[in-house]
């Protein structure tokens, strides 16, 4: 049985029984006489519960112990009043049983009830202070610092009043400092109090608490809680100076951690002061080159964040000077070169930065001995520099290397992988491969939306890039959607009048205007207007009908133009951009089995519809030999649209053509899916080749 649980049970049971023996029974003699039978039953039940409580505690069955204790508390409340001598042991037992059961938050009401009752026992000030501490910790766990603050203050006052500079007092003062870090006027005297208390304690205790604080720094950083890491670094720096001395190596490490936590919490002026003082002290020592290197690097990072690029580069040059001839790990050298290259690139010296990145990769081309995240970020940074130098194929190879390494199981965070997809999107865009660029940008955005906060700045960049590609491909709706999301984000982040917000607003207007029809049409556009626009845009021969059933039958409710089949895709895109709102077009008949003979020509059909799937309905597309009618085919295409996004550009009697807006993650699986849907495609490998070699275009046909 747990020692703490045994003490809880023994204390509660003994105090409870002693209360009944000495006080409760005599003081309630008249009530007992009047309700003798009821009281006897209550006492008997409580005695039975005490026996059961002892048994379950021995088995470490804290859930059952909680149930029994709550029953005992209810009986005591009902029959013997709110006497602190009996109630306090039960409240203490319950709060501790919940703690042992891993349900500490459920102890809150019992702690809250116990605090005023403890005031009846002034001599038990330590217990009262402990109750304040426990309840404050629960509030802090809930993120309720405002409720915790007065409790910690009362704890500190109580312990100070009794003049015992013990470990509990020091812990309470440290918690109070954690809540006061953003208020310098309060934090300064608290640091003095912590130092004074620590100086009165045994050095081993202070050393233990300093080590505990250092561990808390790492735990908080690992969990992404930089504010908590700052508080822990403050405690570690104060306590290490007392326990180890101001000139000890451990103290310097704690000071370095504190300066870095100030930087991460964007207290730049205070962080700069801490770093500069730390560097001055370290430079007086002869044996701490590694500490100096870290301080130089972190100060340079601070200057990067402040926009002081020349200062950042200067400190990184000093850092590289320390590495010359020094025995440092490959990872440390690699990191230093990466950071120096970032500074060089920020200053616009891309040629020098590219050489520095190349020198870093010579140390470990494939990342052996390097943190996977650092290695991947370096390749991404190098890729940006190569793009700036218009060395696009080299940049693309770097980004692909990161993605391949992630697929192989490397511990690379997904937002870093998103950066690689984004880089590939830029490369593809610069090389004129718009379909591939769109796929890369869409993957990057999907990853960032899943793994980054909604207001993360990187999402704006991803949406801007994707919107640009949509615009280039004539997807007006999606282009405007991306531009609108960027504008909304900047309005929220920067305000409506900020220059960057105004730029986003102008971009949205420009993008909207870019897709206005080349010829002004009345609203709603009339068929005659669209007919004239079709001829003007394509130069084709106007037909006041469109054909279906391999050119045998006419549909006079729509119009088309005859164009060379070899130019069909290009003219389709051109007409799609020119058509007014509410109109769309598709490539129709290219086979002429009826009376009309237009060999080598294709119909380009315009329809007034909000749905691209109406193209199949006008074309009467089916696969009756395979048991598929028009709506069956549409149902499958709608599923593809929901999963990947598609744009239908071709629909005829037995053929459908569409572009995939986003490639499936597993192309083999999708190719097999297409083969099952359209067996005339014959082979999975040929399907994959068709998709990847034609700008993500898919052509389906059924004999």
Give tens-digit pLDDT for 246-276: 888 889 889 999 999 999 998 999 999 999 9
Spell 80-108 as b/e; 16+ CB within 10 A means b: beebbbbbbbbbbbbbbbbbbbeebebbb
371, 375, 377, 379: CA torsion to nearest 10:
180
pLDDT at 24 over 70: no
638, 643, 648, 650: CA torsion to nearest 10:
-90
The arithmetic mean of pLDDT across residues 346-373, rounded, is: 86
| Three-class SS state of 308 | coil
Predicted confidence band of residue 562 (pLDDT cuts 50, 70, 90): very high
Residue 524 has what pLDDT? Answer: 55
* 143 backbone dihedrals φ, ψ, rounded to 5°: 80, 15
The token duo for 357 is: 């990145």
Which residue, among 630, 666, 675, has the nearest Cα to 648 in the 3D structure?
A: 630
Residue 82 has what pLDDT? Answer: 67
Which residue, among 629, 605, 628, has the nearest Cα to 618 in the 3D structure?
A: 605
Q: Which of 15-29, 58-72, 111-125, 489-503 is predicted least confidently?
A: 15-29
pLDDT at 4 over 50: no
pLDDT digits (tens, 9 = 90+) for 170-216: 999 999 999 998 888 889 999 999 999 999 888 899 999 999 999 99
Count of alpha carbons within 13 angstroms of residue 297, beta-carbon side: 22
The arithmetic mean of pLDDT across residues 101-130, rounded, is: 79
584 membership: H or E segment, kind and range? strand 583-587
Q: Which of 131-135, 239-243, 411-415, 554-558 is predicted least confidently?
A: 131-135
> Could you tell me which residues come within 8 angstroms of residue 274 by beta carbon, excluding any fewer than 6 positions away?
255, 258, 259, 262
pTM as predicted:
0.50
CA dist., res. 599 & res. 591, Å (int): 7
Contact criterion met (CB below 8 Å) for 621 and 655: yes
- Whole-angstrom Cα Rg for the chain: 37
The token duo for 159 is: 């312990």
Contact criterion met (CB below 8 Å) for 504 and 487: yes
CA dist., res. 7 & res. 270, Å (int): 48
Predicted confidence band of residue 384 (pLDDT cuts 50, 70, 90): very high
Which residues is 377 bridged to in the sheet?
Answer: none
DSSP string, 390-448: T-HHHHHHHHHHHHHHHHTT----HHHHHHHHHHHHHHHHHTT-HHHHHHHHHHHHHHH
| DSSP label of 595 | S
Residue 511 has what pLDDT? Answer: 65
The token duo for 528 is: 């005659």
CA dist., res. 330 & res. 402, Å (int): 19
Predicted confidence band of residue 290 (pLDDT cuts 50, 70, 90): confident
CB neighbour class for 545 (10 Å; exposed up to 12, middle 13-18, buried from 19) = middle
| DSSP label of 566 | G
CA dist., res. 649 & res. 570, Å (int): 11
Residue 327 has what pLDDT? Answer: 66
pLDDT at 360 over 70: yes
* Phi/psi-derived region of residue 348, left when phi > 0, alpha when psi is between -120 and 50, beta in every other case: left
Higher-pLDDT residue of 47, 664: 664
Q: What is the mean pLDDT of the chain?
A: 83
236, 242, 247, 248: CA torsion to nearest 10:
-60
Quick count: other Cβ atoms within 10 Å of Cβ 232?
26
pLDDT digits (tens, 9 = 90+) for 402-450: 999 999 999 999 999 999 999 999 999 888 888 899 999 999 999 998 9
Which residues is 606 bridged to in the sheet?
Answer: 559, 585
Residue carrying the six token digits 């850092």? 319
pLDDT at 303 over 70: yes
Quick count: other Cβ atoms within 10 Å of Cβ 454?
8
Which residue, among 476, 680, 698, 690, has the nearest Cα to 579 in the 3D structure?
A: 476
CA dist., res. 236 & res. 568, Å (int): 72
Count of alpha carbons within 13 angstroms of residue 322, beta-carbon side: 24
Higher-pLDDT residue of 440, 65: 440
Higher-pLDDT residue of 50, 97: 97
pLDDT at 379 over 70: yes
pLDDT at 523 over 70: no
Given CA atoms 485, 490, 496, 501 in this order, what sign does their dihedral have? negative
| Three-class SS state of 655 | strand
Residue 160 has what pLDDT? Answer: 84
Residue 512 has what pLDDT? Answer: 62
CA dist., res. 482 & res. 465, Å (int): 9
Count of alpha carbons within 13 angstroms of residue 587, beta-carbon side: 26
Q: Which of 21-35, 335-349, 519-533 is predicted least confidently?
A: 21-35
The alpha carbon of 345 is separated from its chain's Cα centroid by a whole number of angstroms, namely: 27
| Three-class SS state of 265 | coil
Predicted confidence band of residue 510 (pLDDT cuts 50, 70, 90): low
The token duo for 496 is: 């409506």
pLDDT at 516 over 50: no
CB neighbour class for 134 (10 Å; exposed up to 12, middle 13-18, buried from 19) = buried
Which residue, among 155, 149, 158, has the nearest Cα to 172 in the 3D structure?
A: 155
pLDDT at 35 over 70: no
CA dist., res. 141 & res. 200, Å (int): 30
CA dist., res. 451 & res. 443, Å (int): 12
Which residues is 559 bridged to in the sheet?
Answer: 606
Count of alpha carbons within 13 angstroms of residue 132, beta-carbon side: 26
The token duo for 613 is: 């799937």
Residue carrying the six token digits 């089995």? 593
Given CA atoms 92, 93, 99, 104 in this order, what sign does their dihedral have? negative
pLDDT digits (tens, 9 = 90+) for 634-644: 999 999 988 88
> Could you tell me which residues come within 8 angstroms of residue 563 by beta carbon, excluding any fewer than 6 positions away?
538, 539, 540, 571, 601, 602, 603, 604
Residue 125 has what pLDDT? Answer: 73
> Could you tell me which residues come within 8 angstroms of residue 206 by beta carbon, excluding any fewer than 6 positions away?
170, 198, 239, 242, 243
Spell 588-597 as b/e; 16+ CB within 10 A means b: bbbebeeeee
Predicted confidence band of residue 694 (pLDDT cuts 50, 70, 90): low
pLDDT at 78 over 80: no
Q: Is it true that the peptide bond before 76 is cis, omega within 30 degrees of 0?
A: no
Which residue, among 574, 664, 560, 651, has the nearest Cα to 613 in the 3D structure?
A: 651
Residue carrying the six token digits 């550009």? 649
pLDDT digits (tens, 9 = 90+) for 40-51: 777 777 778 878
pLDDT digits (tens, 9 = 90+) for 148-176: 888 889 888 888 887 665 888 899 999 99
280, 286, 290, 295: CA torsion to nearest 10:
0
CA dist., res. 442 & res. 351, Å (int): 30
Residue 28 has what pLDDT? Answer: 44
Contact criterion met (CB below 8 Å) for 374 and 297: no
The structural domains of the chain, with segments of one domain joined by +, span 424-514, 527-701
CA dist., res. 177 & res. 180, Å (int): 5
Residue 683 has what pLDDT? Answer: 86
Residue 20 has what pLDDT? Answer: 46
Question: Class assignment of domain 424-514?
Answer: mainly alpha
601 membership: H or E segment, kind and range? strand 601-608
Predicted confidence band of residue 513 (pLDDT cuts 50, 70, 90): low
């Amino acid at each position: 049985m747990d020692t703490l649980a045994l003490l809880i049970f023994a204390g509660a049971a003994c105090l409870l029984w002693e209360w009944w023996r000495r006080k409760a029974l005599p003081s309630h003699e008249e009530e007992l006489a009047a309700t003798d039978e009821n009281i006897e039953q209550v006492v008997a039940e409580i005695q039975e519960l005490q026996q059961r409580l002892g048994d379950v505690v021995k088995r470490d069955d804290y859930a059952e112990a909680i149930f029994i204790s709550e029953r005992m508390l209810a009986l005591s409340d009902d029959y013997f009043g709110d006497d602190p001598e009996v109630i306090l042991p039960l409240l203490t037992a319950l709060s501790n049983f919940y703690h042992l059961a891993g349900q500490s938050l459920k102890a809150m009401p019992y702690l809250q009830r116990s605090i005023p009752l403890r005031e009846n026992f002034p001599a038990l000030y330590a217990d009262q202070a402990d109750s304040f501490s426990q309840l404050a910790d629960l509030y802090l766990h809930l993120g309720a610092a405002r409720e915790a603050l007065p409790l910690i203050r009362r704890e500190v006052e109580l312990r100070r009043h009794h003049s015992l500079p013990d470990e509990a007092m020091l812990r309470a003062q440290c918690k109070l400092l954690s809540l006061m870090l953003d208020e310098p006027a309060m934090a300064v005297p608290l640091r003095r109090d912590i130092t004074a208390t620590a100086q009165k304690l045994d050095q081993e205790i202070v050393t233990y608490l300093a080590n505990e604080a250092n561990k808390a720094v790492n735990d908080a950083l690992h969990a992404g809680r930089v504010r908590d890491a700052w508080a822990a670094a403050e405690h570690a720096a104060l306590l290490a100076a007392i326990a180890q001395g101001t000139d000890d190596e451990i103290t310097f490490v704690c000071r370095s951690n504190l300066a870095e936590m100030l930087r991460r919490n964007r207290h730049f002026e205070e962080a700069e002061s801490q770093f500069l003082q730390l560097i001055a002290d370290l430079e007086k020592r002869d044996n701490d080159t590694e500490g100096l290197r870290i301080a130089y690097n972190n100060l340079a990072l601070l200057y990067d964040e402040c926009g002081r690029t020349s200062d950042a580069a200067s400190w990184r040059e000093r850092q590289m000077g320390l590495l010359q001839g020094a025995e440092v790990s490959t990872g440390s050298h690699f990191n230093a070169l990466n950071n120096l290259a970032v500074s060089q690139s920020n200053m616009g010296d891309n040629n020098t930065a590219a050489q520095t990145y190349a020198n870093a990769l010579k140390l470990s081309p494939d990342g052996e001995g390097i943190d996977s995240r650092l290695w991947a970020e370096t390749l991404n940074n190098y890729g940006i520099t190569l793009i700036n130098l218009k060395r696009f194929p080299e940049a693309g190879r770097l980004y692909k290397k990161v993605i391949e390494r992630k697929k192989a199981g490397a511990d690379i965070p997904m937002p870093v992988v998103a950066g690689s997809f984004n880089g590939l999107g830029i490369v593809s865009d610069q090389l004129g491969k718009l379909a591939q660029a769109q796929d890369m940008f869409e993957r990057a955005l999907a990853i960032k939306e899943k793994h980054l906060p909604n207001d993360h700045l990187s999402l704006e960049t991803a949406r801007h890039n994707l919107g640009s590609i949509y615009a280039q491909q004539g997807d007006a709706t999606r282009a405007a959607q991306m531009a609108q999301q960027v504008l909304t984000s900047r309005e929220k982040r920067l305000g409506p009048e900020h220059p960057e917000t105004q730029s986003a607003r102008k971009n949205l207007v420009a993008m909207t205007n870019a897709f206005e029809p080349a010829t002004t049409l009345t609203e709603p556009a009339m068929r005659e207007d669209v007919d004239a626009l079709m001829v003007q845009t394509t130069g084709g021969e106007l037909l006041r009908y469109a054909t279906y059933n391999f050119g045998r039958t006419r549909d006079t409710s729509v119009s088309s133009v005859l164009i060379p089949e070899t130019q069909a895709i290009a003219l389709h895109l051109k007409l799609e951009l020119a058509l007014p709102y509410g109109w769309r077009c598709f490539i129709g008949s290219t086979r002429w089995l009826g009376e009309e003979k237009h060999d080598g020509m294709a119909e380009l059909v315009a329809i007034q519809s909000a749905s691209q799937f109406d193209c199949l309905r006008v074309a009467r597309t089916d696969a009756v030999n395979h048991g598929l009618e028009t709506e069956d085919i549409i149902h499958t295409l709608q599923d593809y649209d929901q999963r990947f996004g598609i744009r239908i550009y071709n629909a005829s009697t037995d053929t459908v053509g569409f572009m995939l807006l986003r490639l499936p993650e597993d192309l083999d699986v999708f190719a097999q899916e297409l083969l099952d849907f359209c067996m005339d495609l014959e082979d999975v490998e040929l399907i994959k080749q068709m998709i990847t070699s034609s700008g993500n275009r898919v052509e389906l046909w059924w004999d």
